[in-house]
Structure 1
Amino acid sequence: GKQMHVGKTLIQVFLGVPFSRPPLGVLRFAPPEPPEPWKGIRDATTYPPGCLQESWGQLASIYVSTRERYKWLRFSEDCLYLNVYAPVRAPENPQLPVMVWFPGGAFIVGAASSYEGSDLAAREKVVLVFLQHRLVIFGFLSTDDSHARWNWGLLDQMAALRWVQENIAAFGGDPGNVTLFGQSAGAMSISGLMMSPLASGLFHRAISQSGTALFRLFITRNPLKVAKKVAHLAGCNHNSTQILVNCLRALSGAKVMRVSNEMRFLQLNFQRDPEEIIWSMSPVVDGVVIPDDPLVLLTQGQVSSVPYLLGVNNLEFNWLLPYNITKEQVPLVVEEYLDNVNEHDWKMLRNRMMDIVQDATFVYATLQTAHYHRGLSTGKEKALSLRMMKYWANFARTGNPNDGNLPCWPRYDKDEKYLQLDFTTRVGMKLKEKKMAFWMSLYQSQRPEKQRQF
């Protein structure tokens, strides 16, 4: 690795640490396997390639990057690596809390090396791990049978967490104090891992920023249909799923990505029924990694009881509304949100439209999940960033974001209090209560009668 100073704190940085064998050849569409040991000292000073992903992954990386100088990402199917940021500590000092970041990107883009962790590691004295996992077809192809059943991307995440349990002590981290935190698809993954028996014991606290397993994009409902469309575009059509999977396994990574681009994930098509559009490739209910529908699991209490912080980021994924409502429900939404809008006031119209999508997607799913879990910056931006780092690190250390010096973050209980993190931090109650009642009614009407009890 390499060393760097952040203020007076010395940080060790280890880039491109393998947590699995490269998922190539017969290991494509297969569970990750432990990495091969190496002799001597391994160079860990170069950012690893991100996993193969959609062509706009580089732009997304620039957008979320926390590095002062952006470094262009490379992409490869050989991508199961971690980046670790660890404060230097004396051997006699106690081990440090560990925080593992899950990148977002709708399971289509995202990379560990978009992020730089030295500032958080140094200021809050935590060991930071940035993971990445297989994406799109490589991460989530499923034929819903024994030939390609599993959630490869989620299994990669768990392999990374097992690596943390087995190795993080060598970096000064405490394997008994591991907090997961992530945004968007990363937040959904964390929520999903809290429902997976295979992830039990791999972490001790969790933070989801804009995304839970109740968000509709999290689960692919008909994976075989998606797999057959992928196979058709790839020239691998066959009634036998075994032959289909072997054909896809034999293609070059570049060919698979060309097929992924032809799938036109996340691209709106107003000429088609939203229910018929394949929006993404995402986790599936496989009976093992994800044992059942997430709503059923939450309702039955089949979820980890670790302390959990969850919330929504502002104005995230504002293009997702068509995925959440049917065309018959559009007039109801228009009446609820746009009834009093002046048609000549475009700013008001824009803001109301953004409210619609925010409420219909992340806010609703986050509040529903919370119900089941009850029991270059300006000076202001810098202060907000430092405050959020302090909340996150406090939570990683103790399971409580409060320390007596910050505005109190209330526990989410029957009063439904929440903390609004902004330039002015304040406590509120019943986030968007009337709007959430509207969406509850709308979504309940979409469900079959037998499921409405959930």
Structure 2
Amino acid sequence: MTTHRVLTTLGCALTAVLATAWSTAPPAQPARQTAATTVLTHDGLVRGAAHDGYRTFEGIPYAAPPVGRLRWAPPHRATPWSGVRDATRPASACPQPFGEVPGGSIDEDCLHLNVTTPAGAAPAHPRPVIVWLHGGGFTTGAGSSYDGHRMATRGDVVVVTVNYRLGALGFLAHSGLPGSGTFGLADQQAALRWVRAEIGAFGGNAHHVTLAGESAGGYSVCAQLASPAAAGLFDRAIIESGPCTGRPDHPFAPSSVPLSTARAAGVDLATKVGCGSAHDVMACLRRVHVSRLLAAQGTDQQPAYATPLLPNDPAAAIMAGRFHRVPVLIGNNHDEGNGWAAGIIQAGYPVTPDSWPDVAATFFPSPGQAKAIVREYPVHRTDGGPVFGAVIGDANFACPTARTESLLAAQVPVWRYEFADEHAPPLTPGTPPFPLGAPHASELPYLFDLGGRPRDLTAAQHRLADTMVDYWTGFARTADPNGPTLPHWTRQSVLSLAPDHIVPTRTAQSRHHCAFWDAIG
């Protein structure tokens, strides 16, 4: 099996996970509309929707549409409007292929955010704010996929979910193009500046802003921790399954790439769409239809470092102690890699004792590394899927998360968790080739109603969801997740999160073979 073919399979497997997570959940009962509600921002009035216990304001522009000459330009301020802007429904997702957003999107007028806040009169003290950056490999996703009303109402916080430019439109790099490789990160910073300026009108505390994200959203938080341009834009950070010391040379963990690599990908994209030999390559690219750009871009995208917005690889910045000094809540899922392993197996690549050495060599081309992995993770049965999944999860998530925590904790308060519900609701339809346990993204339904649809949870899982919301929002409120009714979470251990079994553990690193991964590099 060739590396190229396997990487293509990986992209398809990940897309399937993300697509079905938001589109196949059982439909929720629609929230009862009780009254309209209007808020004055600096750009104009917005009218949201009042529901039972919370209010939503959707599709608020935080920057000008990045179209025409603003395609591949830093975000510009949104144009103020007259009258009252309807904010009762989401705006378009940023351009992306089919995946999390059914049918994808080709609408570049997408730099919008959504605000969810508890109902009622203005609070005596402004509420903490959680700004959520979605995942999706920097290629798919939308802020509107994450219904944060449970977090807002139970935790008494304001939740903001953000769209940012994706794929080639968000991360194209080209010689002489200001902002190369970081337009999507610049969008996130523009949204944070909007929050600082506007969130008070929604009852939020502009000085208690927690930047949070999962997967590519988690890597985005890492990038913002390392970006000088993000100084002063947030006060705490939550990183879910996006460790800052991930391996960009591995296909499972989209972190960041050198500007030279991003520029080479930009040259390739320009050639594919017929602009490679144009007198003005950027002018040509700005005339190319969105659908053609989407067809030509890579499966996954990464921000570029060695750029003004991101001078250093976030991993190197964290290792050198050059990051914003804010408290951090960070974690991973117990079985991060199982979803990828299952997708690859179902695509026709079984992992057996005979095939395992070749599979390992495909993903770890160094012969010494591949052989060491096979010895450390032996496959003894026909179904080696869980073993393959453990390798993916340990190498790309669990151990980099442990390393990130160690580096951050030398400078700032850090709380680390591991989501470990082995019966978490499946994110994909059908029967996987082996039990997936707690794979990548499986913690999300405990915090959000994905696509506005609550997933089926047992009573014990509902209690776990409530506890996780309490921890996350407590951290946003005080920079410490602990509360009087919660199991105590110490900074000296990893908190294992499972139904009716929330306990500190000190064995996470050994369970995930982290000494092995540290040794082989």
**TM-score normalised over the length of structure 1:** 0.84
1:253 counterpart (290, 298, 301) = 290
Structure 1 equivalent of residue 475 of structure 2: 395
Q: Do residues 304 (structure 1) and 324 (structure 2) align?
A: yes
Are 1:324 and 1:361, in contact at CA under 8 Å, matched by a contact in 2? Answer: no
Structure 2 equivalent of residue 366 of structure 1: 401
**TM-score normalised over the length of structure 2:** 0.73
Q: Distance in 1 between matches of 2:149 and 2:506?
A: 35
Are 1:98 and 1:178, in contact at CA under 8 Å, matched by a contact in 2? Answer: yes
Instruction: Specify the SS of the correspondent of 1:54.
Output: coil
Structure 2 equivalent of residue 432 of structure 1: 509
Q: Do residues 32 (structure 1) and 72 (structure 2) align?
A: no
Q: Distance in 1 between matches of 2:150 and 2:242?
A: 25
Deviations 1:98-117 (A, max 9, x none): 01111000101110111111
Q: Do residues 330 (structure 1) and 349 (structure 2) align?
A: no
Matched residue type, 2:503: R
1:204 counterpart (235, 241, 256) = 235
Q: Distance in 2 between matches of 1:361 and 1:168?
A: 36
Instruction: Specify the SS of the correspondent of 1:58.
Output: coil
Q: Do residues 224 (structure 1) and 234 (structure 2) align?
A: no
Matched residue type, 2:288: L
Matched residue type, 1:225: A
Given the superposition, is the C-alpha separation of residues 425 and 323 from structure 1 closer, same or farther in structure 2, using an over 3 Å criterion? farther
Shift of 1:295: 2.8
Structure 2 equivalent of residue 342 of structure 1: 380
| 1:6-405 paired onto structure 2 within 5 Å | 10-58=53-101, 76-91=107-122, 93-146=124-177, 149-215=180-246, 216=248, 217-221=254-258, 222-238=261-277, 243-260=280-297, 263=298, 265=299, 280-316=300-336, 318=338, 319=340, 325-328=364-367, 329-338=369-378, 341-344=379-382, 346=383, 349-375=384-410, 376-405=456-485
Are 1:149 and 1:286, in contact at CA under 8 Å, matched by a contact in 2? Answer: no
Shift of 1:292: 1.2
Q: Distance in 2 between matches of 1:18 and 1:58?
A: 19
Are 1:151 and 1:286, in contact at CA under 8 Å, matched by a contact in 2? Answer: no
Matched residue type, 1:223: A
1:420 counterpart (492, 496, 507) = 496
Instruction: Specify the SS of the correspondent of 2:505.
Output: strand
Shift of 1:316: 3.2
Shift of 1:322: 7.9
Are 2:97 and 2:104, in contact at CA under 8 Å, matched by a contact in 1? Answer: no
Q: Distance in 2 between matches of 1:371 and 1:56?
A: 35
Structure 2 equivalent of residue 275 of structure 1: none
Structure 2: runs of 5 or more not aligned? 1-47, 249-253, 342-359, 411-455
Instruction: Specify the SS of the correspondent of 2:406.
Output: helix
Alignment coverage as a number of residue pairs: 399
Q: Distance in 2 between matches of 1:330 and 1:192?
A: 30
Q: Distance in 2 between matches of 1:92 and 1:86?
A: 11
Q: Distance in 1 between matches of 2:120 and 2:372?
A: 58
Deviations 1:292-350 (A, max 9, x none): 12232122211111000100024335538889632422221111011xx4324x2xx22
Are 1:49 and 1:73, in contact at CA under 8 Å, matched by a contact in 2? Answer: no
Are 2:336 and 2:389, in contact at CA under 8 Å, matched by a contact in 1? Answer: no
Are 1:50 and 1:76, in contact at CA under 8 Å, matched by a contact in 2? Answer: yes
Are 2:72 and 2:169, in contact at CA under 8 Å, matched by a contact in 1? Answer: yes
Are 1:20 and 1:80, in contact at CA under 8 Å, matched by a contact in 2? Answer: yes
Structure 1: runs of 5 or more not aligned? 60-71, 266-279, 444-454
Given the superposition, is the C-alpha separation of residues 287 and 75 from structure 1 closer, same or farther in structure 2, using an over 3 Å criterion? closer
Matched residue type, 2:227: S
Deviations 1:55-111 (A, max 9, x none): 22336xxxxxxxxxxxx8765111100111011343461110101111000101110
Q: Distance in 2 between matches of 1:322 and 1:385?
A: 39
Are 2:123 and 2:203, in contact at CA under 8 Å, matched by a contact in 1? Answer: no
Instruction: Specify the SS of the correspondent of 2:364.
Output: coil
**Relative contact order, CA 8 A, sep 6+: which one is greater?**
2
Matched residue type, 2:65: P
Q: Distance in 2 between matches of 1:49 and 1:285?
A: 29
Q: Distance in 1 between matches of 2:477 and 2:70?
A: 37
